[in-house]
Structure 1
Amino acid sequence: MLPEMLEDPYVEVALQAPPSLDYIPGPEEPEQAPPSPDYVSGPEHADDE
């Protein structure tokens, strides 16, 4: 991680703030996110709602 990034307020807050149970990582690592109780696999379900 570059020192310049540490000076960014957003990065500092992100590093200090603990991950919430509802926290979902960005599209960079979607597989790291645990499935939420309401999550339904399959685009047809998401499109249906």
Structure 2
Amino acid sequence: MGGWTWTSKNGKWVNVIDDVAMGEDMKQCGLFLRLLFNSDLKSSTKLNQIK
């Protein structure tokens, strides 16, 4: 709810950036990066700063 998702693909890799504006608590809100290879999640992190 409330936010957007940006997805890019490079071969078998998929990069997903989620901007989550609403959640049950503040830990669920923010900007998140997920890296997938062949649809398997390889890394996920919450971004703290954007320059």
Q: Which structure has the larger Rg?
A: 1
For CA contacts below 8 A with separation 6 or more, give which structure has more relative contact order. 2
TM-score, normalising length from structure 1? Answer: 0.21
* Structure with more of its chain in helix, by fraction: 1
* Structure with more of its chain in strand, by fraction: 2
TM-score, normalising length from structure 2? Answer: 0.21
